[in-house]
Structure 1
Amino acid sequence: MGDFRASGVGRGPFRTASDIDVVAVLSRRTEADTAVLADAHARVTAAQPRPSFDGCFLTEAELAAGPDGCGDVPCAQSGRFVAAGRSGINPVTFCELARYGIAVRGPQPDELDVWDDPAALRAFTADNLRTYWRPAWHQGRRPSPLWFAVGLTGWYPVWTVLGVSRLHYTLATGEMTSKCGAGRYARETFGPRWHRILDESLALRTGGAEGRRGYRNPVARRRETLAYLDATIDAALAL
């Protein structure tokens, strides 16, 4: 979607740089094939640990069946390969591939039978707000010392502000967008009350190419991030 960021603020799991999301389509998948995949992934990760290649390895039948039609499959997340897992097996992955996927090798996504269910995407998005983001907001309000420190990092508003803005966009439009696309959308959709935290998040995401830094005090930024999270979850679930 034009929003790959090779670098960003933060380190390790708390960094704003992009990963590379991959769906590899296999003609077959035996135990021997999975062992070859594991070895290939280990060699790629050793040679190029960043950005990490996150994704899953599906057959054409699983691609057409969708997330509920898939069992556990080989997948990789943050440099870790598992022979049978569920990482990325959800409506977001399938719908994003069907609508915006970029073929590196082989046929284009629109030449394949890729599952794409708008109703399932909407239901998954709403459930994600209720079961992931609302608990994240509660955790942020009463954080452990570790999460209080995380809340002061530049990663936190990028993850939170732009993350929930993406979900609002999906529920409002039925489509999907990037983190920066979500920030632009939110700035146009919500009032000036939220422009400062949105501009801050965009600036942190893009290294200053978009938005504008507006906080000297990270505690104040954390407080505004949580307020935005609370308001946007409610607004999205009301759509």
Structure 2
Amino acid sequence: MDVVLPAPDQLKVVSRRQYDPKESIAPTSVAPNPFEQFRTWLTEVRAAVLEPEAMALSTASAAGVPSTRFVLFKQLDRRGFVFYTNYASRKSAELAANPHAALAFYWKEVSRQVRVVGRVERLTRAESEEYYRSRPLGSRLGAWASPQSEVVAEDELAKRLDEVKTKFGVDESTKEADVPLPEFWGGWRVIPDEIEFWMGKPSRLHDRVRYLRVEGSSDDDPQWKIERLAP
């Protein structure tokens, strides 16, 4: 990438990169189910991509104002894509007010993207509890200490963390402790109606294959229409 400064108040990016993967994708070559195709791709890219589970999550307020941030994908089950967060955060407030979301994975090293659009639902407390118990002790304490998306003072988080440690009897020598799942923390599931797989190609003539959920098909056993999109 080259950066050009044509004027003091301007900046232009001049891209020099050309994609040249050896593979191709088409509606006839992908798996009949997009979840199966995603599992295949995620497995393939793990060796080449530093953090393949990082995904952009886009939400919108009730008024339609969008917001995007990166979160970590944690699970794919028969209904959809799962991530975890504070239920008092901005993203959760927007998902509660407007229960739709979009996800995007970009695996630069292998010239692949995956885009997901769908509806959202909260995980059950039992589902969130199962994941929460698998987190390191520090991450469980952090979930209690952080008032996510709120304005905080410079040293407030450190003080809050100390208070949480005292509450649950944790000190520097503690390797494990019973730190329960907070009521305000848990998982969201994005139930896709559309999933697109993208592979970079020379001259920007990229491969794009989209799965569209067949209208009326079950969230637990969806049927899919597969089609090619122009780049």
TM-score bucket (shorter structure): under 0.3
Q: Which has the higher contact order (CA 8 A, sep 6+)?
A: 2
TM-score norm. by structure 2 comes to 0.22
Which has more radius of gyration? 2
TM-score norm. by structure 1 comes to 0.22
Give the structure with the higher percent helix.
Answer: 1
